[in-house]
């Protein structure tokens, strides 16, 4: 039975506490959904559940494995994928989003009126066009007086350079930018820098 869950990710591929893949697909008008592994050489059927959902729990899909869904004979990437390492037409990658070690516990958001925003395009802000390269430029932005950055869309899009407004996979972070892991590291570093700046301002004032 499908339960409504508001405080965690449920669609697509997720891993439970035991490391078992739990797969949920919403496809109310189709007759059959399969999980395809090993370039389509292995197919595992999903079970039809309530409200048009299809569900599968399996230990055959491991973290980092590539997979697709076969929907009534048509093979497609996961629309709720977190990672598309081979582009928008390639297979999805099974990602466990839980293990990242955040170190920004001390971060406190500043009041909205103190925001000095810098709208930033990941692909053009640095020659490398990656989240990691943005991290190395954060001190420069702080020196300019910037207190927050606003990233232009980073959802997976066709190719490696794009303005981002035609993203195809809303849950997947653009692989050429550094993917979901790179974005987490950037956010973590931004919060560390912001906390240091906030602490210095408190000392000065």
Chain Cα centroid distance, residue 137: 22
Q: Are residues 137 and 186 in the same domain?
A: yes
Q: Is 65 exposed, middle or buried (0-12, 13-18, 19+ CB in 10 A)?
A: middle
Tell whether the model's pLDDT for residue 202 goes beyond 60.
Answer: no
What is the token pair recorded at 48? 């039809």
Residue 178 lies in a domain: yes
Residue 179 CA to residue 100 CA, distance in Å, equals 13
Residues 88 and 35 in one domain: yes
Alpha carbon 5 to chain centroid distance?
19
Please determine, for residue 198, whether its predicted confidence score (pLDDT) is greater than 80. no
Least confident of 56-60, 114-118, 178-182, 201-205: 201-205
CATH number, domain at 136? 3.30.750.90
34, 69 contact by CB (below 8 A): yes
Q: Which domain holds residue 25?
A: 12-93
Among the listed residues 151, 112, 137, the one whose alpha carbon sits nearest the alpha carbon of residue 193: 137
Do 78 and 45 sit in the same domain of this protein? yes
Name the phi and psi angles at 112, rounded to 5. Answer: -55, -35
In a domain, 107, yes or no: no
Q: Tokens 């955040």 — which residue?
A: 102
Residue 105 belongs to some domain of the structure? no
62 occurs within a structural domain:
yes
What is the per-residue pLDDT for 72?
A: 97
Query: Of 41, 62, 93, which residue constitutes the final position of a domain?
Result: 93
Q: What is the pLDDT of residues 161-179, one digit of tens each?
A: 888 888 899 999 999 999 9
CATH code at 60?
Answer: 2.60.40.10
Do residue 145 and residue 77 come from a single domain? no
Instruction: Say yes or no: 132 and 56 in one domain.
Output: no
Assess whether 58 and 139 both reside in one domain: no
Q: Do residue 88 and residue 119 come from a single domain?
A: no
In a domain, 27, yes or no: yes
- pLDDT by residue (tens digit) across 64-113? 999 999 999 999 999 999 999 999 999 999 999 888 888 888 888 888 88
115: tokens are 């925001």
Same domain, 131 and 170: yes
Q: Tens digit of pLDDT for each residue in 20-57?
A: 999 999 999 999 999 999 888 999 999 999 999 999 99
Count: domains in the chain: 2
Check: CB of residue 35 under 8 Å from CB of residue 67.
yes
Domain-located, residue 147 = yes
* Domain membership flag for residue 79: yes
pLDDT value for 1: 54
The answer as to whether 106 is a domain residue is no
Residues 17 and 87 both lie in one domain: yes
Reported as a pLDDT band with limits 50, 70 and 90, residue 203 is very low
DSSP readout, the chain? -----SSS--SEEEE-TTS-EEEEEE-TT-S-EEEEETTTTEEEEPEE-GGGEEEEEESSS-TT-EEEEEETTEEE--TT-S--TT-TTS-EE----S------TT--PPPGGG--EEEE-HHHHSSS-SHHHHHTTHHHHHHHT--EEEEPP-EE-SSS---STT-SEEEEEPGGGTHHHHHHHHHHHHHHHHHHHHHHHHHH-
């Amino acid at each position: 039975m499908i339960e409504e869950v508001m405080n965690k990710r449920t669609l697509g591929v997720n891993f439970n506490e035991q490391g078992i893949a739990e797969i949920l697909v919403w496809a109310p008008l189709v007759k059959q959904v399969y999980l395809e592994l090993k370039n389509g050489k292995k197919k595992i059927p999903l079970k039809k559940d309530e409200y048009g959902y299809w569900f599968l729990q399996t230990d055959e899909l491991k973290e980092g494995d590539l997979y697709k869904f076969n929907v009534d004979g048509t093979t497609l990437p996961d629309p709720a994928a977190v990672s598309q390492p081979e582009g928008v037409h390639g297979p999805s990658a099974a990602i466990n989003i839980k293990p990242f070690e955040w170190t920004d516990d001390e971060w406190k958001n500043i009041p909205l009126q103190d925001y000095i925003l810098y709208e930033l395009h990941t692909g053009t802000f640095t020659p490398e066009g990656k989240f990691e390269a943005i991290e190395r430029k954060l001190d420069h932005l702080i020196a300019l007086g910037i207190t927050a950055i606003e990233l232009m869309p980073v959802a997976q899009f066709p190719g490696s350079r794009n303005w981002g407004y035609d993203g195809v996979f809303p849950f997947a972070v653009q692989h050429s930018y550094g993917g979901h892991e790179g974005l987490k590291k950037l956010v973590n570093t931004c919060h560390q820098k912001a906390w240091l700046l906030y602490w210095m301002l408190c000392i000065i004032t």
